[in-house]
Each structure stands twice: as structure tokens, then as C-alpha cells.
Amino acid sequence: MSDVTIRRALLSVSDKTGLVDLGQALAAHGVELVSTGGTAKALREAGLAVKDISELTGFPEMMDGRVKTLHPKVHGGLLAVRDNAEHAASMAEHEIGAIDLVVVNLYPFEATVAKGADRDEVIENIDIGGPSMVRSAAKNHDYVTILTDPADYATVIAELAQTGGKTTLPFRRAMAAKAYATTAAYDSAIATWFATVDQQQHFPATLASAHNLVTTLRYGENPHQSAALYVPRRATVAGLPQAEQIQGKELSYNNYNDANAALELVAEFATDKPTVVIVKHANPCGVASGDTLLDAWHAALACDSVSAFGGIVAVNQPLDGPTANAICEIFTEVVVAPGADAAAREAFARKKNLRLLLVNELPDAHRAGLVTVPIAGGLLVQDRDNGAITADDLKVVTQRAPTEQELKDALFAWTVAKHVKSNAIVYAKDGVTAGIGAGQMNRRDSSRIAAAKAQEAAQTHGWSEARTVGSAVASDAFFPFADGLMAAVEAGATMVIQPGGSIRDEDVIKAADEAGLAMVFTGMRHFRH
């Protein structure tokens, strides 16, 4: 079996996009149109001859339309193997006619949920007959063509024109694969709603999800790895996949990963002063808030200008010309911003390979949600780290309480540390990162690396001392020993913010008191692996 002539088509769609054009094309090839409810009405209004489904089945639509296509004369006409003598005999005996083409798109369940409909309306938008017809037609794709997406109507119209009213087996197979993906995604949406909304299950017994392919990428983290970008069927937050790319080459896997890290961090400062985040390999290498974006850019860059080369920049306010010109002075892969004025766009246009991404708004840094990590043989699932603290949540544990400025710097450093790979140490002073130590196997080394970067920055810029002098230092987890704390003391920090909770807390507090430090405990950890 290869090409199949379309003689009868069954159409039942909730989305009427392209329906009339398809119906007219089918009628032009002499195809009998069978339809239901609103679909039949739309076709008739276009002047097309349509047979009601009740004429085919001999039964009226009943129970508010819940029962109309669940009938042997429908599913027999879809599932019969045409060259099977026994099937053919059954069709003849029960007067079942073959259905060669099914056009179905399903009740708008996800849209109904998204608009906040009540439970009864949500339940009524669970399609039963539609998925049943889709699955029957897709299973029997050797003989039946199934269409579930209006985007495919033009393709089938062209194929009918080219073949004289027939469809080819490769096309039917492709549509069958798409059909099963459609019903799988539909069922996953229903299962997720029942589990998480209706039954309030935080971690359902079965984790059902569906994502749509946006694009394949040039390669993954490395050239020998393939990669692609998917988005949830109904995204609840806008991010890079929804951003407008103004210019530049297509984004790579690493671009997306690093730019997302920058976007998530700058979102923490969505309502704050102008803030710039520079990220390299998913870790921030410079973060600063200033009176202007340009001030913030220069301060963030000065933290680690070596690592910033070839990095990702994200800002919390629309970009202006002076800031854009300054960013263009070094090699930058991607810039993410909630807008850019004409002067900024003109500046970036001179760097044709730089990708400029504009988002409508920054994501909510404190939104709920689940994150997943595949492991060999399984999948780890956890809540997003949306934890946040204020000054009121802090516990002063040293003899000396922090000054108001030290407290501001500590909270700034703590916010940045949340987005640095563990073990993470962040020094900050006057709303600017002074040094960042990321991803080390022990906290002492992270402290030393951060301090060394601050010393290098001071030498590069001719400062009299490193910015770590008089800074606040944040640690994403507790100091298990006093050595990490002493590394911060050697760097000149005067304030420490950390979760606390070590069995050696008293030793660390004692060391802080002896060094004259102020230290606060957050009671919250921010591991990031």
C-alpha cells in the first residue's frame, strides 16, 4: 500500500483556521465531507455539501455532544484493514464505509485551564471522541490520513493536487507520528492538571510533561554533541525562547545556557537601581548596581575584565547608547535586556555577530516551579531555588553588629552567591562585586580565588587597594572550619553573611569576633551544582 485515494473525509475541529480552504480543496477532488456540529456549520456556510455524522452513524449527537463519533460506523471505517478479506466482509455486513481522511483538533483544554475556568468547564473541555478518532486513524495510517494541525493543511492540499486526489505513505506516516505526539501531549496536560491542580499533588506519582521543538541548534556543549531547544506546551514564564533576537548569529546551546544564567540573576534586581550582570560559563564574573547603566557596566566589568571577554551581559533596564557603546568595546557574545533605544541598537549593529535579545519583561525571580536533572537510570526533581531573605530574617551572631552599609553589601553579595556554582564565595562593596570564587571543592579555595581576582583587578586598574577591603563576603553554605573565614579576613572583608548550621559554628563565630568581623546567619542555604 502506498498512495491512497481520498474519497471520504471526516472533519471535526475546534480550531477553524484554514478549515474552509481545506474543505474546498477536498470537494474539488470529489471527496465526500462528513462533519459534526460547528465544523459542519462552518463548511455549509462556505457553500460546501456536508453530511452530518448522525447520517453516517444512524444515531443523533447526544448528551450535549459528548457522544457523536464513538460509534462502530466511525471507528470501523477508520480501523478496517482494506485488503483484509475478513475486515472487508465485516464492513459489507454492517454497512460500514471507509473513511480515508480524518481532520481533528482537540477541545482547547489547556487554553481553558489557562483562562482560569472553573472545574466544571475544565472537565467539559476534556475531549474524548477527538483523541479516539485521532488514535484510530493514526494506527491505520497505511490506509488513513490523519491531520491534527492546521499548519499541515497546505501540505495535504498540495499533495492532493500533485497526485490527483491521493496521499502518499511517507506523508501519512509523518502525520501519524505527529498525531500520537498530539494526543500524548494532550493527555499529559490533563494528567498534570488533575494531579497538581485538582488533587494538589506536589510530586505526582507519574510526572507527565510535553514540550514542543523550537529549533535544532548547531551543536551542544561540544561540537560532537547534538542539541535542540524545546519549550513547554504552555509556558508559564517568558524567557530566552520568547525573546526577540534583534541581530547576530543564531544562539548556540552554550549561549542559551549562559544567557539564561545571566537573565535569572539580573531578574533578582528587577526593581532595583540600574544593574548589570556579566556571566561566563554560567557563573557571574561581575555584577554591579549604579546610578546609571553605564556606571554599573564599568563597575561590573572591573570586577573581572579577563573573564568578561566573550561573556554574556544582562541588564535590568532598557539599554541606552552610551552603555551599548561601552559594551561593544570588548568581545561580547550575547546581550539580554528589557528593551533598547535606537542609539543602543545602532551601536550593536556595528557588531554583526553580537546577539541582542530583547525580553518583554524580566522573569519573576521568586516564581515557583520544578527543575529536573537527569541521572543514570532516573530523574531528579526539585523545587526551584526561589528562596529569598531580607534584613529582618538575619541573625547577628557576633559581638559586633553590622553597619547599615555592610548590611546592604551583605544582602547584595548573598543575592549574587545564590547564582554562583558551589562552593561559592562572593565579596561585594557599595553594590559591586569585588571578587567571585566559584565551583571549588572546598570553601577556603573559593575564598582565596575570589580574593586573588580582586587583587588582580586592583593591579589592572591601578587602585590603591582591592575592593575586598571593607567588603561584605557571602558564602552559599556554612563555613565548616574557620579557615575559609580567615581567608576572607586576609582579603580585608569586615562583614560575613552565611547560612550557619555547622557543628563548628561556635569556632567560626569566635574567629570572627577575634578578627572584629560582623557576621549574620541567614538560616538558608543556596547550593548550586
**Catalytic residues, which ones?**
139, 281
CB 471, CB 428: distance < 8 Å: yes
Residue 185 has φ and ψ, to the nearest 5°, of -65, -40
User: Residue 343 contacts by C-beta under 8 Å, 6 or more apart in sequence?
Assistant: 320, 321, 322, 324
* 527: nearest Cα among 488, 495, 504, 499: 499
Residues 6+ apart with CB under 8 A from 64: none
Pull the grid cell for residue 212: 514542543
The neighbouring-strand residues paired with 358 are 244, 337
Q: How far apart are CA 443 and CA 251, in angstroms?
A: 34
Residue 446 CA to residue 426 CA, distance in Å, equals 9
Are the C-beta atoms of residues 12 and 27 closer than 8 Å to each other? no
Is residue 122 within a helix (H) or strand (E), and if so which, with residue range? helix 119-124
State which amino acid sits at residue 455. Q
User: What single DSSP character describes residue 400?
Assistant: B
- What gap in Å lies between CA 117 and CA 257, rounded to an integer? 35
Which residues lie closer than 8 Å to 295 by C-beta, 6 or more apart?
274, 288
